[in-house]
Structure formats: structure tokens, C-alpha cells
Structure 1
Amino acid sequence: MATRAFPPGNARGAEVFQALLQKSRDGMYDEAFFDLVEQYRQMYPLSEKTSLFLAFCAMSEGYFDIAMEQVREAEKKRRMSLPVWEILIACCSRRGDVREAVVYSGMARCFYQRPMHLSLSHDELEQFLSVLSRAMSAPLYAPLLTARAVWADGVLSYRAGSFAGEFLPTLFYSEEWPYWAGAYISEEPLNEKGWLLERMKDDPEFAANQGAEFVFDLMRAKKVQEITFSAGKDTWLLPVAGLSAGQEAEFAGAMQAGSVPLAYKSFSFFRVDKEIKISSKEPWILGQPIRLGHSPRRHRLVLNILVDALSWGEIKREGYRAVPNLMQFFSSGIIFDNHYAAAEYTYPSLAAMETGLYMHRLQVFDNCFGGEIDSGIKTLSEGAAELGYYCVNVMGASEGVYNGVTRGFHRLIVNPNHLSSAEAVERAIRQIEAFDECDQYVFLHFSDTHTRSILMDALPLATQTHLPLEERLLGAEGEKTSVFLSERAIYSHANREGIRRVDRILGEFFSYLESRFAPEEYVVHLYSDHGVPVYEKEPYPTSENQACAALMLRGAGIPKIGRCAELVSGLDFYPIVAHSLGFSPSASIDGNLPKVLGGKEREYVVSSTQFPGQPYRVSIRTKLHECRMESVFPVTPEGTVNLAGAAIEIYTREGHEQVEDEELYRYFLSLLDDHTRSFNTEGHEWPEHFMEKVKESWHA
């Protein structure tokens, strides 16, 4: 019996949960209720439900402060939850915390179709429309929005939109220098992109079509009209953007006074080493000033290159022939042959790598839910910024902006999908040379190797011209997402074209880096967030080709080892980069510094999928074996799942042959139970309309 089943839940736990549901419906918060709550807490210490039952009781008795304390504890464990949001809406409304009431009401309406009942003045509504838009929109592709809230003629409506030409609001915390979304220009006319941005930013079709790959420039900034900036003994760069076509800025101070034309809704940089007054007839945007200077405690350059969907499993299978430049450059560093992504697609995988946390702990698993990560989590870019690095994303898709995963970057140059390695490298070189008087933390993300359905994206030119028409027609079947693409010549050819292109372009880039920097001056981390399914006869989201992803390092402090067989998780990217930067990660992260860098060797790695509406799938790999589990029941919108009866199979990693071994099964079952305990519901689900009944007893 090679396929086993995950055991059913605790029968007594189910009885206690049902009893607590009934008492909550009836408003019977007696001694027996508290005894049941304690039993449940002891059986399920990681569950949010204990705190929620206590919050129901407090709401019924009118103890709103206690209810708030309990629901905040529940929210830490389950950010996306209708019971959590119902209590928070009621408590925040009662306390007069209008902003949070608006946020949670918007989320509840968007994800649970809960009607919004908020008593707001016209001024309050205008003030919080942007926040409501954030709460109700998917978190991808800032500054675009899937649900821009619009108040017109006494009616509140929602449509696709953007924050282009505006500051991006956060949901729960204020920022001294919030992101402002302008148009990215290089050596281009000053006003044309700003004109286009202004013309298209409120067009729902512009946002619905993901901005037609318009390139946005997100920078931490403030809106001003006149400033006096004192440079002190330092030299600074001041980013400045105009808010109208033809706008000019007046410069005066310890220098000859004069005026300069500003780029319309785009940034230009001005070098300042004296006290200076800058003014204009109209308001303008001041980017966060950049102090020039190096420190011996920093590297001149820390470079993170995310090559999206570069399957290292397939690279290894082909004997590394497709990536000669990568192998040559990183052979003087470390090439991890056994690096496995924590998640199956970019949105949760990027978040895991930038924080070192599993997606169920971080609660970033659904690219439709736009919540923010906890403010106490230090992201990699925040760690770099705290050390004094100038942090710039020269190319990316902005998946980490709304959720806070990339909030440490001072500047992000972003567009949704077409992330070209050639353009990314050119931007990186310009960035390195323009800001060579400060220590830089530079991120570039490109997607040449990310194969998508031909129903969505154009194929590489060589694939179009070399494959017969029959292959094109075969490939036109209705796949919807890249995670589940089939093994077809049209997709494997496209993927190999992307790999070869990336390797060629990076080879030239690496030669540039070697000629510009001394070995001790820079560090390069090249990595991927997941692999591809197009080489699998039966695509499985955590298979070898989909989970085994590129990870390689070279530069200051990196030993010259070459290929390394040590097991490494995508979560380990966080402590690896922290090690390069020189800060100590929190002991609470899930990431681990590899032994080859002075840390501890992992016993196993976990790759999983936790997408709502689909089965929960997980693979746990040791040196010799892989254990797969797939749930019978789908993942809920909250990110939880009932694992009763989930199919468990164990394979050898070499040869992928199924294994029947009782001791091995017990070992993996223990790991699976430990990993999933916080989100395995055992079938304890909130019944439909339950909250409507419970709220009847809440104190007015």
C-alpha cells in the first residue's frame, strides 16, 4: 500500500468545536463555555478560534476592550477571516477608528460579499477612498488597482484604476516618505510620458490591461512647493518631479540663482553640496534625499538578480549545457544544486525569500488578498536600508509593494509582466555608474525564462519561426496559468530560448562587474523563485522541475566552492543575504544559514502550494527521499484546509521510485503534522450564516 492517508482529526476536538458553535449561537457564555474554550485551547494552541470564541463572549457582554485584545490575537494567526473582520469592524467603529473600520469593511465586502454599513461624513469618505481602494484590490502590480472606489452623484462605485501620479496609501501605518507613483523615463522627452500617464491613469481599461506594460517609477517622496535643504558637510542627490507640463523649479542659495525645467510626473536628480532653496509656482514632488558616501562596513554593491522560473532541476538534467556563463562566473563562488522554492509561484515565493518566513506564517499565499505583512517583520531591503545602502529595484513586477514585502526600497522601477533581461542589465549598469558614490543594494527581476500559455504571451521569435504550425495549434489548448502548463515542444523550446538569452546577457554583465569592481567590493546573489512544469509528463506544482530553482552566490565573504549539494530552501535566501549585508536575522524566521556559509545543515526542505480553491500540495525532501501530500479538500479563502484523508506518497529522489517503509512514513508524517498544524482545520469550519446569528447577541 504505497499511498497512505493523513489521519483524521481529533474526535473530541470536533465535539468541543461544535459545542462552542452552539453556545455562541445561543449566547450562552456560562462556566461550561469557558471550560470548553480551555479544552479547545489545549488541543489546538495554534488556532485562532480560541481567541475568537472569547471575543464573541466579550462582544455579547459589552467588554469591547477585551474583545479587541482577543481579536488582535486571532488576527495574528489568521489575517483573512470574516469573524475576525466582523469583530474588528464593530470595535473600530465604536472606538471611532474610522480608517481601520473602512479597511476591514472593504476587505469583508470584497472577499465575503458582506454589505458595508459605515456612517461616514462626505469629508471622511473622500479622505478614505484611496484606503478603501487598497483594501478591496488585489495586491499585484502597484500602482494599478482592481477596484478603485469612486464617489460620484451620491453613489459609491468600484472600477479598475490606478494610483498613477499619486501617493500610494498603506492600510494600517503611516509613512514619513510614502511611495509616489510617477512615469519612468531615461533619456527621453521631459513631458511625453507624464502626458500619457495623466491621460490614462483613470481609464479602467488601462488598469484592466495591466497598464499595457507602462513603466512606473515608485519612489519614497513628499509633495512640497518650497524647501530649504541644508547639505551640511555632505553631498546629496535630490530627486525632483514636476506635477504639470512645462513646470520650472527655482534654485537659490550659496550659488548662482536660476531655474530648471522639471520632468512632468517623472524624476530628475540634482546634486547638492550647499544649502539651497528650491521653489516653484506650483507644488512638486521631492524624492527622499540620497546621501553620497561609502562606508568600510558596507560593500560598494550588493546585487540580487531574480531570474524568474529558472528551473535548476532541468538545468542539471541537461548537464548545465544551457548556462555556461553562469557556471563559469559562479564556479568562483557557490552554486547550490539542491535549492528548493518554498512556494510554486512568484507572489508567495518572493515574499518568503524577502522575509525568511513560510507563507502560512507570513500569510502571503493568495494574490487576490491585499493585506500587509506585520510591521514588525524586517524585510531584506529594510535591513539593507538601515545599514545605509541606497536600495533600488531597477526592474520588477511590484508584487511586493502593496503587501510591504519590498518596503525597504527607496525606488522601484516596475511594470507587470514584460521584464526583459537585456533592459534590466542596461538599467543596472546605468544605476551602478550613476550612483557610484554611494553603497548600493540593487535588485533586478526578469522573466525571459518564465514560460506562459500562448493564449497570454507572445512566443520568442526563434520559437515562432522554427516550430511547425502543428505545434502552435497543439499549444493553443486552454491552459490558464503557467503553473499547470503541459510538456509540449512549443513551451520547452520557448523556455530554452529564454535560458540561453539570459545566460548570454548575464555573461556580458558579469564581465562588466569583474572589470569595474575588486573582488572584495561586491556580492552577487542570483536566484529563482520557482521552476517550470513544461518538462514534466505529469505537471505537479512541487515536482523536481517546478520546485528546484537556481541559487548561486559570488563575491566578498563567499567561499570559492563551486557546485554544492547541500539542501537549501528558498527561505534561506534571507539569512544568506543578511550574512552578506552584515546584519543578524531574527531568531524567529524559518530560514537557515547554510552550513557552507558557517550555519547549520538542513535535514529537509519544504515546498508547498496553498492557493484557495485548489488542493493543498506539499513536498518534503531529505537527501534521499521526497514525501508528497495532496489534500482531498480545497484550501479555503483563509488559507486553511482540512487534511483528513490527504494522500501521502514517498519516493526516492534518485529515480523517483515509490517507497513503502513504515518507519519512513512515521518520520514524514511527523514532519507533515508539524508543518501544517497551524492551518489544518480538521474540518472545524465556520458554518454559513454563523456570524449573522452570533452578532444578534452582541452588545449595541
Structure 2
Amino acid sequence: MKNDKKEKIWDLFDQKENANDIQTMILEYENEFSDDMDIFLMKMCLFIYENKIQAAIEIGKQALRKNPYLLEIHLKLAEAYKDQSKYIEAYKHYCISKLLASFAGEEKICRDCELLAKGSLEQLEELITYLPDEQKIYLSQKMIPAFLGYEKNQFGYNERRFRTFEHIGGDYYYESEEVKKYVGMYHRPRHVINELDAVHWKIEFQEVVEANYLKLPDTEKKWIVPVAVEKNTTHWFETDNGKMPVIQRDIKSFYYYRVGGGREIISSDICYWGNPIPIKSDKNKKRLVLSIFVDGLAQVLLTADKFAYLMPNTAKFFKNGMVCKQAYSSGEWTYPSIAGVMSGLATTQHMMFHNEIDWKLPNSVKTLMEYFHESGYYTSAFSGDWRIIPSYGYARGCDRFIYQLQHTGFSVEKMIGGVINEIDALKEINQFVWVSLGDLHDVADEMELPTSVQTHLKIEDRVCEKGSETSVKQKYDMAKKIQYEQMLQYMDRYLGMLFSYLENTYEENELIVALFSDHGQGFLIPEDGQFLGPERTNIAFMFRNGQLKGETEEVMSSLDYTAILCKMAGIAYCEQGVEGRTPRIFGGSGRRWALTESLHPKDYYRAALVSENYRFYFCNPIPVGYDGRFEIGDYSICLTDKEGRNVYAEDVEKECLDIIMRQIANLCIY
């Protein structure tokens, strides 16, 4: 779609016209097309044209907050930083530009960026020779190592270490340019010493300090001290009976020691000391807040007559809680949906949607983990899902993040045991624990299912329709539906062990337990069903806190998850700048519509809105670009009642269209 006004502005730049004339044209264009992302680029070019370099950089940062995949913005930022002799930043944006250009099919830009990035490093080396010694030391010992550490995942745009054999254990992991954590091997068998990746073994992330001496504060009587070592190390612990030597033999793994307050620990070598954990419990807080994420658990199968049959232990446990039957995911697959759960932002707001380019939650938004960490809970996460990893912002506020690729070590039977061990280890303190269970995905991914599932399937139930490249696009398949129901029963048996432990360990008012999902299943959608129909978007959403009990038909969004947990825990939740809301049943104002978006490169943008009475579906027929942007074409809409019957209500259609058009305004190409 050609925009003549935009073309005239670029012509003025080419003709090197007066800056005031260009500014006037940009303001006129902005008044008419206020949501066009190219306005940021125009303003950057104008500031660079006027030699207002810092102003151009600030505009570029604003643009990337709205859309981090804008190639032209990264190129201009690299140019601006280079003008300021900030060669590290210039190198970073040239590298990102090269990556994005490869997805845009811009081979020449790829080649140019490679040369420009190399040139930036050469200019940095030359600059360093002229710096004072103090600045040289800062660059060589802090800034450059942090920069190189963050470069390993292409500055957050390309993280592969959580599903490949690249070594990550025993090293520092940079969640950002400012935050690094030591990666310890979690309970690795001692006789295996070579493999330090996240496929063979579990890894755990913690902030540490390097030292051979630690003195604990005397503010608490007892502490738990995590420590990792690089070789056989002897620790001398100060006790009532004198100094006691303890040898730590397993390298690159965190050991946990119970130590008295005010005591000293002296080690024979430099160690990695994790943050000491005070053994205390605030009686005004819950002893345990447990968040159970079950990937792909569709609410449409958990009907009144099937819930107790398919998941008897789960149904029994949450019979003393609140089951929310009309909760809808914000996205159609795990990556965008969990980003929404963690942040309260919709897909078009957090922009974590790409299947091949990674990104992270904005620092300006507080995450689920940060809410509980800042409220005094010890926070830990157990994940086997390579779409739930530290670089996405999920380790912000997380004291301890434990990960292993699900299919090699964190399937449900191993995950549940690990989580019970974690809860029991720290049950004297206030805990928040996140656990991810991804086994249901094995059905859609056509992977080998557990033996106890296989033996209960008829041959007819194992003849599946050929799957598509991605589980999201699969068509209705009765055989997969039956396998899926068997997997629900399989997972429920292990969840029953966890629920039994909880009920035997805690009083009803001491804990909050939530179980939820991120999306349903495409193979449950009938042939004539909507792509974003309830089979895919209506998700499991249930909570137990010793107070609310029953079922509710109130419409909710997965974006409300953090708000609900905060409300239950008595933590103030900020709704400003996010879409998360506290439902009425939990004491909030609730919402009129729940929005699900499907934003995916090379696919059509789709959206669904659900209210208590209506379902509205939107589909734009022009494919989404690599950067999430698209032109608006001859879109189709469909309005139904809650039973799926087509209805006509002009005012409702207009209301829904207005919501969606506001939602995608920043992505539209004008």
C-alpha cells in the first residue's frame, strides 16, 4: 500500500531540504497516521540530520519498546551510537540488524552489517589505547565481559542453549547486559564430568558472589547457604563446637548448608556463594504459593461429567477451590501466551510472538515473580519448556531457576518429585514455586507416550492424521483426542501425589495453589470450527486458597493470572499499563471481553473476543511480516452467541472491531 505523504517526506530527506520543512511534514503525517511505526524512523532521521544524536537514540529506544524487530530502527541506532563513539552499542545493533535482515531477505544489508560490526570492534580497540588506565580496567574487567556474555544469545534475539548441547553449566549466564547468574549443575551424577548442557542434565541459576569467606548476619538464628565450587574444596564452618571441616567434592553444583546466624565460613578456595536464605516465616503471608502450569490443558474436556473421570485427583483437590470455566488464553501457543501470563500484557503489547526470533518482557512491567519476590517470598521456578527460560525475562525476581529440557529429564513423574523436594527443603520459609508440566504436548507432537498410556489404547486410537509442521495448525483428530484423554489421566496420577503431600503438610489457610494452562488443542476443533474457537482458547484455570469455593462462568483472560494470585496473597497489583484485571469473583472489577490473538510470521492475523453472551472472530487476509507488521485487507468477521450460533448485532460488531483495530494499530502498515 503506497502512502504518498510518506514518500514526500523521504524525498525531502534525499533532497537535503530544510529541517524545519521536514519537521512540518512529519507533524502533518503524524496527525493523520499517528500509529504508523515509521514515524519513529522519520523522527530519528530528522534528529540525526540535525545532529541531535542523543534525541535520536531516545526515539529509537521508544520504537523498539513497541516493536523490537524493526530493522531500520536498529540500523539507525547503530549509526547514532557510532557517531557518539559508543562502539560496543553500535556493534550490538549491527549484529541484531544482520539477524533481522536475514529474515527480511535483505542479503546486501546482512553483508554490510557484518562489515560494519567488524569495523566497530576495530574502532573500539583503537579507542581503548587512548583511554586512562581506570577506564581500561573497567572496560576489560566488567563492561566487555558482560557484553560478550550477552552476545552469546545475540543480545536476547537468538537463544538456543536451552535445547542444544552447548555447554552452559559452570559458567555465568547473562539475562541482560546488567544481570548475570551462575549456572550450577543440579544433582548431576558424580561420575559424569563432561556434559554441562541443559539437555543431558538439570541446571540451576542463582546470583552469586565469588569469595573464600562468608560471614552471616546475626539478624536470624539460622540460614541456608548455597555454595558451588570449581574443585574439591574444604569449608570450615563456625559452630558451637568449634570449626567443623566439610569437603565439597561435586564441582559446579550448589550444595545447601544450614548455618547459624553470625557464623563464619572459611573455604580453601574461591567459591560461588548464592544469596543466604534466612530461615524465617512471616505469619501474615502464605507459607506456600504454588503455580502449576499444564501446557495445552483444554477446558472444553473438563466438563462436569468428564473432569472427575479424566482428572479425579485434580477435581477432588480443587473441589475445595474455585474452578473458572470461562477463562481464555491471550495467545494460541505457549510463547506468547506465557509472556502474557507473566506480564499482564497482550501479544501485540509484549511482542513475543516470533517462532524463530526470541525476545523478552519489557523492564517497565513487573512480572509475576517480581511481585512475590518483592513481597518477601523465596521464589523458585522448575521448567522443562524451552519457551519458559531466563532470557525471556522469567528469571527476573526468581531466586532459583531450575531447568532441563522436558523430554530428557523433566517429564511429569520427575518434575513432581523435584518440586516436592524443593517445597520440603524450604518449608520453614514463605515460598513461591512455579512448575511447568509439558507432557500433554507429546500427543500433538506425535512423540512416544508413556507405557501405561500405550497399553490402554486400541489400535484404532493410534492411527493419527499426519500432523502439520506445528501443533498449533493441526486439524481435528479423534485418535489424538483419545490419546490426549489418556495422557490427562496419566498426569493426574502424579499430580495426585503432589496434592496429597500438600494436604498432609499444610493447613488450608497456609497455601495458595493454582493450576492453569496456556492454550487448548487444534485437534479438538471440529472441521467447521473457528481457528480461535473455544477448543483452542478456553483454558483450565483453577485456584485454591482456603476461602473461595465452587465454579464460576465469569469471563476471564490468562492475562488476569498474576492479578488473581496477587489478590489472593494480599499483594497490591498495578493495573496501569497492562491488560491484567482482577475478576469480580476474586473481588475486582472484572472485564467485559477476553481477547485471544494469533500473530505469527507468514500467517494471517486473527483475533477472538469472548464475552458472557458473544464470541467475535476476526481474520485479516494479508500475511504477517517477519517484524509482526501487516497491511489491512478485506478482513472477515463473525459474531456468534455463546453456543456458536451466528447472530447479527451491529453495535456489538462495531465495539469488537474498535477493540481489535486499537490493538493492532502499531502493527498496521500505512
TM over 0.5: yes
Q: For residues 332 and 273 of structure 1, do their structure 2 counterparts lie closer, same or farther at Cα, with a shift above 3 Å needed?
A: same
Bigger shift: residues 225-234 or 350-359: 225-234
> For residue 295 of structure 2, what is the amino acid of its counterpart?
D
1:65: how far off?
1.9
Counterparts of 1:633-648 in structure 2, within 5 Å, are 633-648=622-637
1:57 pairs, out of 17, 34, 46, with 46
**Alignment partners' CA distance in 1, 2:461 and 2:17:** 66
Which residue does the alignment assign to 2:148?
129
Q: In structure 1, the residue corresponding to 2:441 is in which secondary structure?
A: coil
Q: Which residue of 412, 416, 419 corresponds with 1:421?
A: 412
* 8 Å CA contact retained: 1:165, 1:265: yes
Give a deviation string over 1:152-198, Cα, whole Å, max 9, x none. Answer: xxxxxxxx8343321111334x23xx32222111xx64x335x1334
Secondary structure of the equivalent of 2:639?
strand
- Is 1:460 aligned with 2:455? no
Q: Secondary structure at the match of 2:326?
A: strand
**Which letter does structure 2 place at the counterpart of 1:563?**
E
- Assess if the C-alpha contact under 8 Å between 2:290 and 2:432 holds in 1: yes
The answer for the alignment partner of 1:204 in structure 2 is: none
- Once the two structures are superposed, the pairs formed by residues 115-154 of structure 1 within 5 Å of their partners are 115-116=113-114, 117-118=116-117, 119-120=120-121, 128-135=147-154, 143-144=161-162
- The aligned residue for residue 305 of structure 1 is 292
- Does the Cα contact within 8 Å between 1:295 and 1:439 map onto a contact in 2? yes
Contact 2:519 2:539 in 1 (8 A): yes
- Partner of residue 290, structure 1: 277
1:366 aligns with 2:354: yes
In the alignment, structure 1 residue 653 sits paired with structure 2 residue 634: no
CA–CA separation in structure 2 for the residues paired with 1:417 and 1:94: 46
| Candidates 523, 530, 535, aligned match of 1:534 | 523
* Alignment partner of 2:250 out of 241, 263, 270: 263
User: Could you say which residue in structure 2 is the equivalent of 1:181?
Assistant: 183
Do residues 503 (structure 1) and 492 (structure 2) align?
A: yes
Task: Decide which moves more: 272-281 or 409-418.
Answer: 272-281
Cα gap change, 1:130 to 1:140, in 2 (>3 Å) = closer
CA distance in 1, matches of 2:589, 2:37: 32
| Offset at residue 607 of structure 1 (A) | 0.5
The code of the aligned residue for 1:192 comes to: H
Aligned equivalent of 2:659: 671
Identify the residue that residue 443 of structure 1 maps to in structure 2. Answer: 434
- Give the Å deviation of 1:463: 4.9
Contact 1:453–1:480 (CA under 8 A) maintained in structure 2: no
1:126, distance to aligned residue in structure 2 (A): 6.7
Deviation of the 1:343 alpha carbon: 0.5
User: CA 1:139–1:593 in structure 2 vs 1: closer, same or farther (change >3 Å)?
Assistant: farther
| Matched residues, number | 633
Any idea what the Cα deviations from partners look like across 1:282-336, whole Å, max 9, x if unmatched? Answer: 4322112111101123110011010111000222286423123322222222110
Residue 619 of structure 2: SS of its match in structure 1? strand
Residue 345 of structure 1: CA displacement?
1.2
| Residues 1:170 and 2:175 aligned together | yes
**Cα 1:511–1:229 shift into 2, 3 Å:** closer
> Given the superposition, is the C-alpha separation of residues 235 and 313 from structure 1 closer, same or farther in structure 2, using an over 3 Å criterion?
same
When residues 243 and 397 of structure 1 are mapped into structure 2, their CA distance, relative to the original with a 3 A threshold, is farther
The offset of 1:106, in angstroms, is: 2.2
> What is the Cα deviation at residue 378 of structure 1?
0.9
Unaligned runs of 5+ in 2: 103-109, 126-139
| CA-CA distance at 1:98 after TM superposition | 4.1
The corresponding residue for 2:204 is: 217
Asked if the contact 2:294/2:437 (under 8 Å) is kept, the reply is yes
Letter in 2 for 1:353: V
Task: Label 1:410 to 1:270 Cα distance change in 2 as closer, same or farther (>3 A).
Answer: same
Residues 232, 273 of structure 1: 8 Å contact kept? no
2:59 pairs, out of 40, 59, 70, with 70
Q: 1:21 to 1:242 in 2, by over 3 A?
A: same
Query: For the residues of structure 2 that align with 1:100 and 1:249, how far apart are their CA atoms?
Result: 42
Task: State whether residues 325 and 506 of structure 1, in contact with CA within 8 Å, keep that contact through their aligned partners in structure 2.
Answer: yes
Deviations 1:490-548 (A, max 9, x none): 42232112211222322332232222211111111111111111222347552211110
Question: Residue 394 of structure 1 aligns to a residue in which SS?
Answer: strand
Q: CA deviation at 1:29?
A: 4.9
Q: Give the partner amino acid of 1:555.
A: N
Which string of whole-angstrom CA distances, capped at 9 and with x for unpartnered residues, describes residues 380-417 of structure 1?
11111111111011344252410213311111111223
Q: Deviations over 1:71-114 (max 9, x none)?
A: 22222222221121112212223334344333322221222143
- What do the CA deviations read for 1:407-441 (whole angstroms, capped 9, x no partner)? 11111111223342232222222222211111000
- CA–CA distance in 1 between the matches of 2:380 and 2:152? 26
Give me the whole-angstrom Cα distance separating, in 1, the residues matched to 2:456 and 2:497.
26
Q: What is the CA-CA distance between 1:366 and the residue it aligns to?
A: 1.9
| 8 Å CA contact retained: 2:453, 2:490 | no
Match of 1:552 among 542, 546, 549: 542
Q: 2:224, 2:472 → 1: CA distance?
A: 43
Task: State whether structure 2 residue 343 is matched by structure 1 residue 355.
Answer: yes
Supply the distance in 1 between the matched residues of 2:510 and 2:429 (Cα, whole angstroms).
12
CA–CA separation in structure 2 for the residues paired with 1:52 and 1:111 = 16
Q: Distance in 1 between matches of 2:223 and 2:268?
A: 24
Instruction: Give a deviation string over 1:449-479, Cα, whole Å, max 9, x none.
Output: 2244555x2233345445566765654x352
Quick one: distance in 2 between partners of 1:559 and 1:470? Answer: 43
Mapped contact 1:572–1:593 kept (Cα < 8 A): yes
Is the alpha carbon distance of 1:580 and 1:97 closer, same or farther for their aligned partners in structure 2, counting shifts above 3 Å?
A: farther
SS in structure 2 of the partner of residue 258 of structure 1? strand
Q: Distance in 2 between matches of 1:583 and 1:27?
A: 56
Q: Using the TM superposition, give the Cα deviation of residue 145 of structure 1 relative to its aligned residue in structure 2, in angstroms.
A: 7.5
Percent identity, please: 22
How far, CA to CA, are the matches of 1:162 and 1:108 in structure 2?
A: 26
Tell me what 1:388 maps to. Answer: 376
- 1:249 correspondence with 2:240: no
Which letter maps to 1:180?
Y
Measured at CA, do residues 101 and 234 of structure 1 come closer, stay the same or move farther in structure 2, by a change above 3 Å? farther
**Cα offset for 1:592?**
0.8
Tell me how far 1:40 sits from its aligned partner: 2.5
Whether the aligned pair in 2 keeps the contact of 1:231 and 1:275 (CA below 8 Å) is: yes
Larger displacement relative to structure 2 (411-420 or 620-629): 411-420
**SS of equivalent residue, structure 1 residue 84:** helix
Q: Note if 1:584 corresponds to 2:584.
A: no
- Greater relative contact order: 1 or 2 (C-alpha under 8 angstroms, separation 6 or more)? 1
TM-superposed deviation, 1:599: 0.8
Query: Contact conserved, 2:236 with 2:243, CA < 8 A, in 1?
Result: no
SS at match of 1:368: coil
Tell me how far 1:213 sits from its aligned partner: 5.2
Flag the 1:535–1:498 CA change in 2: closer, same or farther, 3 A: same
| Alignment match of 2:72 (pick from 83, 89, 93) | 83
Distance 1:71-1:127 versus aligned 2 partners, 3 A rule:
closer
Cα RMSD, aligned residues only: 2.7
- 551, 567, 571: which one pairs with 1:563? 551
The match for 1:434 is 425
Equivalent AA in structure 2 for residue 437 of structure 1: E
